[in-house]
Structures are given as C-alpha cells and as structure tokens.
Structure 1
C-alpha cells in the first residue's frame, strides 16, 4: 500500500487573510500548491474561533533547503517567531505562528 499526503485543510473565520499570509510567507501557488508537492486549502468554517485553541495540536512542517535564507526572509516579513532557528537532531528547525495562531515549522534536514 502506498499512502501520501495530498493536502492540509486549514479552517478559519477569515480564510482569505490566512491564504494571503501563506502566499506571502511560503509562496503558495494560486491553487494552494506547495513547490515540493501537496496543497494547503483554506476553508471558511463556522465551527472554529478566530484563533487556534491548542496551536500545538497540529504542526505544519515545511521542508526547506536553506533555513538561514528563509529565516531572513521571514524576519523581513515580520512573522511572529515562536522558536528561532536552532539545531535539532535531524538538522535545523524554527517555528512561527500564522495569523490564526497555528504553528508552522520550517525544517532543513542535515541529510537529504
């Protein structure tokens, strides 16, 4: 059996704002496509609040080739840093908070 992740749906009271942030921060395509495959989908939901109640419940991990360059770009965009770039066993990691309070981690693996 072969299973692969196709997309992640992010429910929001303001999906347009959230999608705009992801387009600016990670360069999503118009259909929510990520450069390495997969999609982020933004859905207006009446059953969620304006901010994630438990932001650590689901972590969105985005893999990058050069975390230092990504971090410099993110800093220039004024993101809300939760965890600065630091080493962890597989490589480098950092975490930011999106406008709805979801945690987004950028990961650079040491061995690819």
Structure 2
C-alpha cells in the first residue's frame, strides 16, 4: 500500500510540474523560469516573479487555449481595477464594469 501511495504522489507532482511547463510554453514561449512557492508542488507557481498561478488556473489556460495577450488582459484588468475577477468568470465573460453595474442595482 505504501509503495502505491508513493507512486500516486509522484504522479501528482510530476503532473503538476508538467502542467507548469505546458503553461510556460503556451504563455511565455518557454522562456520563463518557474518554481513552486515554498516548494509546495501543486500550490502557487511563480513564473519569474511576475505571474503566480495555481494549477486550477493553469488547467483553464491550457483547456481554453489562452494566448499570452488574452491572459495578460485578464491579469492587467484585475490590477488596473484593484479588484479580482477569477479566471473562470473572466473566460465566461465577466468584466469589472459589470461589477459596478451590479452594485448600482442593489
């Protein structure tokens, strides 16, 4: 049983590392050095201290075929508006101006 657990944990960590590498290739042309913050594979992944992504968002980036420009639009909109829309909602069409309208109608 213990060897099976070790195998599953290794597969998980290997898959997370592979996912980070795929995102690095898709968004950053493989040019960025990345690492798992605190050596916690599967937690937050830092791409050269500029972009920090979790595996859930990395999967969304891959599944939706986001380009760097599409990804950067989401990132910059969150920074510019000093508010956060998660990537799933962004892909589904949520934008910051919609949040403002929502507050007006409350």
Q: TM-score, normalised by structure 2?
A: 0.29
More strand by share: 1
Q: TM-score, normalised by structure 1?
A: 0.27
More helix by share: 2
The structure whose Rg is larger is: 2
> Of the two structures, which has the highest relative contact order with CA contacts closer than 8 Å and spacing of 6 or more?
1
